[in-house]
Amino acid sequence: MSYLVDFKDVSTVGLESSPVAEALAGLRANEARYLKNKFDHDLVLEDADKAAEVIDWVHKILFEERELRIESQPLQACVFEADGAKRAYVFYESGLSINVLYGLAPGEKRAVGFKLSDGMEVTEELADKFKFARQKSKLAGTIRGSYFVIKNEY
Name the residue ranges covered by the structural domains of the chain: 2-149
pLDDT tens-digit profile of 8-57? Answer: 999 999 999 999 999 999 999 999 999 999 999 999 999 999 999 999 99
Question: pTM of the full predicted structure?
Answer: 0.95
Whether the Cβ atoms of residue 49 and residue 59 lie closer than 8 Å to each other: no
Whether the Cβ atoms of residue 20 and residue 62 lie closer than 8 Å to each other: no
Name residues whose C-beta falls within 8 Å of residue 97's C-beta, 6 or more positions apart in sequence.
Answer: 24, 27, 28, 31, 89, 90, 91, 114, 115, 116, 117
- Assign 143 to helix, strand or coil: strand
pLDDT tens-digit profile of 91-113? Answer: 999 999 999 999 999 999 999 99
